[in-house]
């Protein structure tokens, strides 16, 4: 028996539910010699903004127990250069391309970016990165909270505004740096998001005791990797109880076994992030491992696994 691995969210159809997470896979061309890109369920690109960004000063990453901190600060070439120089390669791979976008200063930038991407056939979906902990936006900073993803109303308004300018599948990427992530997920769903992805990185710090300096230049950064997996799973399970749209799960997926935990908690698809730095082929291995698990457990479709957590003791 060949279990069915395909999943859909909005108009987006994935032949399997394993994608690569934004910011950990560049614009795919960088990885082309290291794995078979067309085996992936989908590719979520590094976040792009309207204008080019140099990102934050170095050092921008450091290793931590069971994870890493990063503060890249959304370094990217800006949308026009992305379309001219990066999109031609990714659009020929033959897998769905999800473009991650963010604003620098003004949430209206999300609308402008989405309007531009809406006209491009090669773009399969748009991921709204309203949860990057590493950019300092002057307009948003003046207000409290700092991130759109920390405020249900701001999330609702933003998703609704973007929804008006595109029919493409919209995925809203949520932040774990909140008191109740379910409120934000509900706001995204109500405003017309076709899926939510969670989690982005968790704000953290690491210190060199000899210099008494933080190990990354911006002092705090975003924690990712296996250290955050239990937090991600807990949040996915909570969100799964509250919304009907699909969840793309991420946060510390390192192998097929950890990927399976995410489906069981309620994710319809997953994204592999930090693990790409350890083993760029890991997503392919995860696809095989998930398929084997479904066969061994006589499950005809990945949907049988989604949210299958056994809650009775």
When asked if residue 258 is in the footprint of ligand FMN (CB under 6 A), the reply is no
Burial of 45 (0-12, 13-18, 19+ CB in 10 A): buried
Pick the stretch among 67-75, 138-146, 160-168, 301-309 that binds ligand FMN (CB under 6 A): 67-75
Q: Which of 14, 35, 37, 132 is catalytic?
A: 132
Rounded CA-CA distance 255/176 in Å is 22
Q: Which of 137, 128, 127 shows the shortest CA–CA distance to 155?
A: 128
Answer for which of 171, 274, 294, 306 binds ligand FMN (CB under 6 A) is: 274
Q: Of all residues in this chain, which one has the CB nearest to ligand FMN in the complex?
A: 23
Instruction: Give 15 or 53: the residue with its C-beta nearer to ligand FMN.
Output: 53
CB of 2 to ligand FMN, least distance (A): 28
Cβ atoms of 167 and 118 within 8 Å: the answer is yes
Instruction: Give 24 or 137: the residue with its C-beta nearer to ligand FMN.
Output: 24
Could you say which residues in the range 133-172 bind ligand FMN, by CB under 6 A? Answer: none
Rounded CA-CA distance 103/113 in Å is 9
132 a catalytic residue = yes
Contacts of 247 (CB under 8 A, 6+ apart): 195, 196, 197, 198, 236, 239, 240, 266, 267, 268, 269
When asked if residue 24 is in the footprint of ligand FMN (CB under 6 A), the reply is yes
Q: Which of 238, 219, 126, 262 shows the shortest CA–CA distance to 176?
A: 238
Could you say which residues in the range 173-192 bind ligand FMN, by CB under 6 A? Answer: 173
Catalytic center residues: 132
Which residues sit at the interface with ligand FMN, rule CB under 6 A? 21-24, 46-47, 68, 70, 72, 74, 100, 129, 132, 173, 200-201, 224-225, 228, 250-253, 272-275
């Amino acid at each position: 028996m060949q279990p069915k691995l395909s999943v859909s969210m909005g108009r987006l159809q994935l032949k399997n539910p394993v994608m690569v997470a934004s910011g950990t896979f560049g614009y795919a061309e960088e990885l082309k010699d290291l794995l078979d890109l067309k085996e992936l369920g989908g590719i979520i690109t590094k976040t792009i903004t309207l204008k080019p960004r140099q990102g934050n000063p170095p050092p921008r990453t450091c290793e931590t127990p069971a994870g890493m901190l990063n503060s890249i600060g959304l370094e990217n070439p800006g949308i026009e250069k992305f379309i001219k120089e990066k999109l031609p390669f990714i659009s020929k791979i033959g897998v769905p391309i999800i473009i991650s976008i963010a604003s620098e200063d003004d949430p209206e930038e999300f609308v402008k970016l989405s309007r531009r991407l809406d006209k491009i056939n090669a773009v399969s979906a748009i991921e709204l990165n309203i949860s990057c902990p590493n950019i300092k936006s002057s307009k948003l900073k003046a207000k409290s909270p700092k991130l759109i993803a920390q405020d249900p109303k701001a999330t609702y308004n933003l998703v609704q505004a973007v929804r008006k300018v595109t029919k493409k599948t919209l995925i809203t990427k949520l932040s774990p740096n909140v008191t109740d992530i379910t409120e934000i997920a509900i706001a995204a769903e109500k405003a017309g998001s076709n899926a939510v992805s969670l989690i982005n990185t968790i704000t953290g710090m690491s210190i060199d005791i000899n210099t008494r300096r933080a190990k990354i230049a911006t002092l705090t950064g975003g924690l990712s990797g296996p250290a955050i997996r239990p937090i991600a799973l807990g949040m996915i399970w909570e969100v799964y109880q509250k919304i009907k749209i699909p969840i793309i799960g991420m946060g510390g997926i390192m192998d097929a076994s950890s990927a399976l935990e995410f489906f069981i908690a309620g994710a319809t698809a997953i994204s592999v992030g930090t693990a790409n730095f350890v083993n760029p082929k890991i997503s392919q291995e995860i696809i095989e491992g998930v398929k084997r698990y479904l066969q061994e457990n006589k499950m005809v479709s990945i949907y049988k696994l989604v949210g299958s957590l056994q809650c009775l003791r």
